[in-house]
């Protein structure tokens, strides 16, 4: 029955969009990271991302991370500046202690820009975090 389904609240997992210099060509790139601030590993992490507005929708991108260790992070996507005019959704699903968790993170249109960058101590970089 529906009342028997337990949906755990997701805490300690965040998505960050970071502006950093590409080591190969020296240009500035916007990269997307998943942060695991928990003291437990996350397993079978699936991230589905898509940009959207009232009139436009991007392709759906899917990524899988077999294991994201406790108190760690991983870069998973290069983000093109053309997407900043859209809302950008990242749906994250993972197993924690054999329980399925799911959370959707949304960066609203025009919120990814240099003026909103803040220090992210956990990463040692500057970026925008969605909790």
Q: Is 90 exceeded by the pLDDT of residue 111? A: yes
The whole-angstrom separation of Cα 43 and Cα 68 is 6
The Cα 41–Cα 31 span in angstroms is 22
What does pTM read for this prediction? 0.93
Give the C-alpha separation, 58 to 78, whole Å: 14
Whether residue 6 is predicted with pLDDT greater than 80 in this model: the reply is no
Contacts of 103 (CB under 8 A, 6+ apart): 10, 13, 91, 92
Contacts of 84 (CB under 8 A, 6+ apart): 109, 110, 112, 113
Are β-strands 125-130 and 13-21 bridged in parallel, bridged antiparallel, or unpaired? antiparallel
Cβ atoms of 52 and 86 within 8 Å: the answer is yes
> To the nearest whole number, what is the mean pLDDT of the chain?
95
Q: Tell me which residue has tokens 């991983």.
A: 74
User: What are the φ/ψ torsions at residue 112 (nearest 5 degrees)?
Assistant: -100, 100
Residue 37 pLDDT exceeds 90: yes
């Amino acid at each position: 029955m529906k009342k028997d389904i337990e949906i755990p609240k997701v805490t300690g997992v965040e998505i960050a969009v970071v502006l950093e210099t590409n080591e190969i060509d020296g240009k500035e790139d916007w990269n997307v990271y998943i942060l695991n601030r928990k003291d437990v590993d996350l397993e079978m992490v699936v991230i589905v991302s898509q940009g959207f507005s009232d009139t436009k929708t991007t392709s759906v991108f899917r990524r899988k991370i077999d294991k994201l260790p406790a108190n760690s992070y991983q870069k998973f996507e290069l983000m093109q500046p053309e997407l900043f005019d859209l809302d950008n959704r990242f749906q994250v699903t993972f197993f924690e202690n054999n329980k399925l968790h799911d959370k959707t993170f949304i960066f609203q249109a025009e919120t990814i820009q240099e003026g909103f960058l803040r220090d992210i101590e956990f990463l040692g970089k500057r970026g925008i975090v969605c909790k």
